[in-house]
Amino acid sequence: MGKTMIEKSIRRAAGREVAIGERVWCNMDLSTARDFGGANCVLQFEEVTDNKGKVWDPDKVAFTFDLQAPSHSEKVSRNQKIIREFAKKQGIKKVFDIKWGIGQHVLLENGLVKPGDVILGTDSHMNLLGAVGAFATGVGNTDIVASWFKGTNWFRVPETMKITVNGDFKKGVCMRDFLTSLVGKLRADGMFFKAVEFYGETIEKASLANRITLCSMVTEMSGKIGLIMPNGEVLDWLVERAGDVVLDRVKELAADKDAVYSDELSFDVSDLEPMLSAPDAPDNVKKVREAAGAHVDQVHIGSCSNGRFEDISAAFEVLKAGNFEIAPHMRAIITPATREVMKKCAEAGFIQKFLEAGVVFTNPTCALCTAEHYGALPADDVGMSTTNRNFIGKVGKGSHTYLASPMTAMATAVRGVVTDPRDLLG
């Protein structure tokens, strides 16, 4: 019987055959923590080892700072210092401090992620690294601490769902819109504990940025991980960063033709329209047209879902179509995912134009995902963002948020009300 990608990845990490439903101890390739949760991991590790513990392999531990980078609270500053000092004491060199950007993206850009790698992190969207076929998952501090002992942790071998996507997006429509429609169809628990493999022409042709977007909200459907085996330009990009071993992994870990899936779904995106998640849940999905005209106070483009160069570039094109003017009342914020993305935006001349249009362009960090980030909303304000959750009050008590694509977000910034980007792009 054939095996799926996740079965092969767990088999590789466990060094033995595995069966669906089984609990398996896997060897870690990387065990990471952010400035959120990181200090909790460090303090817990020191406590349970009486300050004498050594992490199993300092080269396989990494820290990324993106909850507050740079920190703007004394508590987070203290937490970041706790991490820096622990890394120094343990000989951990992979500390991506405040200048770098969002953790998963930084690890990816630095060649630390390969297909089949088992990666833990204190970020529930760690699993977006499935966009290059890695088995990454978000966990709490105890899982991280436990993995630092011997470089292992336990997993349940999940069932796999197969999703095939075909067709070309129409102008003004993008992968985020497909993702939103998928969340609307499967709802908050539609992928319960499962892995998902994405196939089809639309996926094969998709850029890395678009693959990241698609895999970034598997968590919002309660999935374990969304996996895409690298091909084409994405494969070339990954080999350049992470080395030729990537090619071996692709061969070894691609799903068998006769792999067994728990569910198989097919979609065609040819007639898809711009979609959004209305307040106050990601699966409260509507067409942008259905919400058009609703007042919005603030727009935020960025995050681990849609903070890459292609995303900002798409927003730029919409701003251009709107004559580089945003609505007078609008507070518009763009936060690139990483320093590399920000440099590309500068080289392309985007930043100058955004600033002239009155858009706030920030340093690379997480976007408005918590009330502690730039642009927290006051009660009764309505935001639109390209982040991945909009539960009530998430970015400010009493506030509400629409989730949408970078194009829809920028069209909304231009008009000041929820706007279908096709109204500007023609």
Partner 1 sequence: MDKTVLHGKAWVFGDDVDTDLIYHNKYLAETDPKEMPQYSFEYYPGKEHFAKEVKEGDFVVGGTNFGCGSSREHAVYCLKFAGVPVVLAESFARIYYRNAINNGYPVLFVNGLSQAIKDGKIADGDDLEVNLETGEITDVTNGNKFHGDAVADLEKDIMAAGGLVEYLKLQTGH
Task: Decide whether 147 or 419 has the Cβ nearer to partner 1.
Answer: 147
Q: Which stretch binds partner 1 (CB under 8 A): 94-102, 161-169, 337-345, 369-377?
A: 369-377
8 binds partner 1 (CB under 8 A): no
Secondary structure class of 394 (helix, strand, coil)? coil
CB of 96 to partner 1, least distance (A): 18
Nearer CB in complex with partner 1: 31/219: 219
Q: Distance between CA 208 and CA 408 in Å, rounded?
A: 20
Identify the DSSP state of 243. Answer: -
Per-residue burial over 248-263, b if 16 or more Cβ lie within 10 Å, else e, is ebbeebbbeeebebee
Between strands 382-385 and 400-404, the pairing is parallel
Nearer to partner 1, 260 or 281 (CB): 281
Residue 193: what residue type? F
> What is the nearest approach in angstroms of partner 1 to the Cβ of residue 323?
37
Q: Identify the CA nearest to 274 among candidates 386, 110, 414.
A: 386
Which one, 222 or 231, has the nearer CB to partner 1? 222
Binding partner 1 (rule: CB under 8 A), the pick from 3, 84, 105, 394 is 394
**Nearest 10 degrees: CA dihedral of 273, 360, 336, 37?**
-110
C-alpha to C-alpha distance for 304 and 299, rounded to whole angstroms: 16
- 343 class by beta-carbon count within 10 Å (0-12 exposed, 13-18 middle, 19+ buried): middle
36 binds partner 1 (CB under 8 A): yes
- The rounded radius of gyration (Å) of the Cα atoms in the chain is 21
Q: Assess 391 for contact with partner 1 (CB under 8 A).
A: yes
Q: How far is the CB of 139 from partner 1 (least distance, A)?
A: 6
Of 45 and 100, the one with the shorter C-beta distance to partner 1 is 45
Residues numbered 117 to 176 that lie near partner 1 (CB under 8 A) are 121-124, 126, 138-143, 145-146, 149-150, 154
* Binding to partner 1 in span 173-192, by CB under 8 A: 188-189, 192
**CB contact at 8 A, 146 and 154:** no
* Closest distance of CB 188 from partner 1, Å: 5
Binding site for partner 1 (CB under 8 A): 23, 36-37, 39-40, 43-44, 48-49, 67, 73, 75-76, 79, 82, 121-124, 126, 138-143, 145-146, 149-150, 154, 188-189, 192-193, 219-220, 222, 224, 281, 369-372, 389, 391-394, 397
